[in-house]
């Protein structure tokens, strides 16, 4: 009989989880190709690539902001600004062309107003309490973080609650959507965007040097040589560039950028239906595409299949990196569990009323030259300052 560790984790868990994750990725792609379409299959695989990149680069939005708030270490934020710039360069020709492979292409350009301001603010608090944003929660789950499961449960619940209030929030004060390239023209709009990205990049350098005397670079052990491509870790900038390419490919294939959190509202709504609820009567689900997704199998929902493959891609990355050589920590402090649950609740609610999360509003919004993405960034960062102060009460050390 194979020997097992005291926790019940097989000694060769990394091998078997590598095999399992590859089977799920390939098998899922084949299933979606036969059952839905080639596009759905490709998007499923891209979600897996996204999860793989997020894990191997440890590309955390939450941790990057927290390190800057606590220690004025800005490496993570600078990597995000580079990611945005690369995404802008890749998105721009696609947005100007307006169509690809027979379908229209459009970015995420949403209204600028109270719902984004408040939603992003409470999301920022929640992401620090839950120790991960939307994409972070999913890749943490794939990487064997039990805390991520708790956060996801709260995320789904918060998303459902927000859909019951969605029409009220959409009637709060707001400006019309503002696209920099439409408002200023292509060249001027791109330059304005470049200036804002550069301003944030430069500000982190000035503040970091003032606090630490020099730029602080995260120490990573690059001992795997060329195998680091599979085993990690990756440099942050490489991870950011890879995520920008993934997002551009998603835009090409589905006609809109990468999304994460709309699936959580859908999962929650279907769960409510199981117990006799009627979410289809809520205003949020009156939009024809949303109504169609509520009536259809989950494998037809693009965001759902990409979220699932994101977790599987992170599982593959974690197994290749040897993550499961150590037992998974299932028992968590009660304060951490409650904090993660409440943090997820805040993120779920905030993401719905602010048109998305760190991916759907922050990354996609700025990549699409939308001013709502910048408002989301500022409001969520301010919320994160409060969230960081609450983390010790959730049993986090930092």
Residue 260 clears pLDDT 80, i.e. is over it: yes
Domain residue ranges of the chain, discontinuous segments joined by + = 13-214+230-394
Which pLDDT tens digit goes with each residue over 149-177?
999 999 999 999 999 999 999 999 999 99
Predicted local confidence at residue 268, as pLDDT: 97
Nearest partner of 49 among 300, 249, 298, 251, judged by Cα: 249
Predicted local confidence at residue 323, as pLDDT: 86
What one-character DSSP code corresponds to residue 173? S
Which pLDDT tens digit goes with each residue over 7-43?
445 568 999 999 999 999 999 999 999 999 999 999 9
Which pLDDT tens digit goes with each residue over 336-348?
999 999 999 999 9
The pLDDT-based confidence of 120 (bands split at 50, 70, 90) is: very high
CA distance 220 to 235: 8
Residue matched to tokens 């789904």:
156
The average pLDDT across 97-118 equals 94
255: left (phi over 0), alpha (psi -120 to 50) or beta: left
Tokens representing residue 270 in the block: 């279907």
Predicted local confidence at residue 10, as pLDDT: 55
Residue 328 clears pLDDT 80, i.e. is over it: no
| Distance between start and end Cα atoms, the chain | 42
């Amino acid at each position: 009989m194979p020997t097992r560790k005291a926790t019940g984790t097989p000694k060769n868990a990394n091998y078997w989880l590598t095999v399992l994750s590859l089977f799920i990725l390939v098998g899922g792609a084949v299933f979606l190709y036969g059952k839905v379409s080639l596009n759905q299959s490709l998007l499923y695989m891209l979600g897996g690539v996204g999860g793989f990149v997020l894990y191997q680069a440890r590309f955390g939005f939450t941790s990057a902001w927290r390190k800057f708030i606590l220690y004025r270490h800005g490496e993570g934020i600078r990597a995000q600004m580079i990611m945005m710039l690369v995404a802008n360069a890749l998105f721009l020709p696609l947005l100007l062309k307006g169509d690809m492979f027979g379908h229209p292409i459009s970015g995420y350009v949403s209204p600028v107003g109270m719902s984004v301001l408040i939603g992003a603010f409470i999301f920022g608090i929640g992401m620090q309490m839950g120790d991960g944003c939307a994409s972070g929660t999913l890749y943490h789950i794939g990487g064997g973080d039990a805390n991520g499961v708790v956060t996801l449960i709260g995320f789904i619940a918060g998303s459902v609650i927000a859909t019951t209030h969605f029409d009220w929030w959409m009637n709060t004060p707001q400006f019309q959507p503002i696209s920099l390239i439409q408002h200023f023209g292509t060249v001027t709009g791109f330059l304005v965007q470049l200036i804002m990205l550069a301003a944030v990049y430069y500000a982190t350098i000035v503040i970091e040097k003032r606090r630490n005397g020099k730029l602080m670079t995260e120490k990573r052990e690059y001992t795997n040589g060329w195998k680091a491509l599979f085993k990690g870790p990756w440099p942050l900038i490489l991870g950011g560039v890879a995520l920008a390419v993934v997002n551009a490919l998603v835009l090409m294939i589905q006609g809109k950028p990468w999304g994460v959190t709309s699936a959580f509202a859908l999962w929650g709504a279907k769960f409510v239906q199981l117990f006799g609820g009627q979410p289809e009567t809520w205003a949020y689900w009156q939009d024809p595409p949303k109504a169609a997704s509520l009536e259809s199998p989950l494998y037809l929902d693009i965001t759902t299949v990409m979220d699932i493959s994101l977790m599987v891609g992170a599982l593959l990355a974690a197994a290749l990196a040897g993550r499961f050589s150590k037992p998974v920590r299932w028992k968590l402090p009660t304060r951490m569990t409650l904090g993660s649950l409440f943090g997820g609740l805040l993120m779920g609610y905030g993401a719905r009323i602010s048109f998305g999360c760190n991916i759907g509003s922050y990354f996609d919004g700025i990549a699409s030259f939308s001013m709502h993405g910048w408002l989301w960034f500022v409001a969520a960062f301010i919320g994160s300052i409060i969230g960081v102060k609450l983390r010790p009460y959730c049993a986090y050390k930092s």
